Chain A
């Protein structure tokens, strides 16, 4: 019986580790061969106990496994390692505007940030239905197709090259970020700046509101 109990435990532990582990994305490795201009993404490493310890301090605000229940704090589950790392460093160095994150990010070393990033990269982004305006979302969908889709692929469900997962993100957060981009408070990649400025010039500020409603309304990949 003693043996049985011990082995049950070991197996249970495995289950835990399995949950927390990140398996290298085979597809991504295969992509490397064709030498696109894109910078190779940093692959997430298995989560260490220290990484788990650090990530545990985040989820009180950002939600279980980094999926927020809102109404405003963003979900950070499924964020690519590079996206997470860039965001934290930008907060830490005061390059990205924030209310509280800048103050918190200053408390972490590069190594801490890397540890946390591995945890959140391994989590599934869990979407919670939120109230959005169907007309705005519809208009936003068109704006997305015309202006954003090249980088925010697949309706914003994927975080690639720092695109972040936008689909199902909390509406107020999307609104805050778009307002900050538009006010030039938050830095954008050159391509994005061009697109966003042109979109607002052609359609007015309501374009920002509409794309925000579009992304927030995206609950299921199949619906897009």
Chain B
């Protein structure tokens, strides 16, 4: 806090004192919290830390000056939405008193409570790491970062999203679009299937002789019943004119190798060659690399945490939220990250003020678009279970949209999904 901010805070506080009695003397003043990563979790953690205790010195470090949301990026790929509409920046977050640093964290010394950004060393009292995911390059033979320039993953939005869209636009009618989906866990479990839907929507209108083939490392997927129902209604799923075909792991769908020169993938036990005009590889993932650099990941590449506070099981005073952390029943979704960030911020503020943390509350709400005026969702409310340090869904609540929902309800869900997007991005960047 600089002198001017100090004066401002005092003035604001004085106005309130006339009306309120002071309930406690907080101990958080001026303590430093650093948040690494300005996505669905990191932005919220930084903002809610300031909302909960404005005296904290909060720094948000993000390597990209612009943020492209993965959420709704499938609408960009399908041509329904311009990429500018999923582009955000950090300017408005500064107005909450958050120090925004655009730079890359290269490492740190968690015992000394410092991290390195460029040639600077920053110290913290609490560190929140929200790095999202990184691709496991090489997990599919031949699929590395260079290959993603030919066969985009588009699983981080931005240039990759634009590239995949460009390839679809350039594709001739009659082409086959391959989408490969990884095994669990990965970011946005319904994402590959929403993408297949919106690509099919584009093909149906513009390139009707084409089709999408999903090659899957799984035999089941998120919202499967609803997607398949929608695909039958909209894209002839299951017929010989189908615009979408899904090949499960049991049906030789698991991709083991790619060849960018041939634009081919190799799937199943025999490594059958499947050639696509456009190949979108969603590879296996792990916590963002910085989590591993800081020693926060387990052997599988994800971060074990205390489920009540999101404090790392492997480092004191360091918290991990969002896609990178292990949160049991909570999927790796933007809303999960949002919810976890708020719980984490409350835990950090309580710890810095020497108070008991309040019972956490977590939710997830996630929409997928299947076609024009056709949205579906999954929702859940979770509780913390102290006995086994887990996050468990409240029994009898949550679940997916009704299987027999009316066309009107599917339309409403599409509109609520778009509202979800405007409101969650305002929560992040507003």
Contact = CB atoms under 8 A, between A and B. Distances in A.
Contacts of B416: 61, 72-73, 99-100
A15 B342 contact: no
A67 to B, nearest CB: 9
A148 B396 CA distance: 37
Contact of A56 (B15, B361, B396): B361
A2 B393 CA distance: 45
A12 B399 CA distance: 41
Interface stretch (A46-54, A150-158, A191-199): A46-54
Given A5-B30, A68-B419, A104-B398, A16 B54 contact: yes
B52 A60 contact: no
A104 B397 contact: yes
Contacts of A14: 13, 16-17, 20, 22
Given A5-B30, A57-B361, A10 B423 contact: no
Nearest to B420: A61
B10 A59 contact: no
Given A16-B53, A16-B54, A10 B377 contact: no
A63 B423 contact: yes
Interface in B311-344: 335, 338-339, 342-343
Contact of B29 (A8, A50, A64): A8
A100 B365 CA distance: 8
A15 B359 contact: no
Contacts of B397: 103-108
Interface stretch (B175-183, B257-265, B407-415): B407-415
Given A13-B22, A61-B420, A64-B430, 17 more contacts: A5-B30, A9-B26, A9-B53, A12-B10, A14-B13, A14-B20, A50-B359, A53-B342, A53-B358, A56-B48, A63-B423, A68-B419, A68-B423, A70-B419, A99-B413, A106-B381, A106-B396
Interface of B: 6, 9-10, 12-17, 19-20, 22-26, 28-30, 48, 51-55, 335, 338-339, 342-343, 346, 358-363, 365, 377, 379-382, 393-394, 396-399, 401, 405, 408-409, 412-413, 415-416, 418-420, 422-424, 426-427, 430
Interface of A: 5-6, 8-18, 21, 48-50, 53-54, 56-57, 59-64, 68-73, 99-100, 103-108, 112, 170, 172, 176, 179
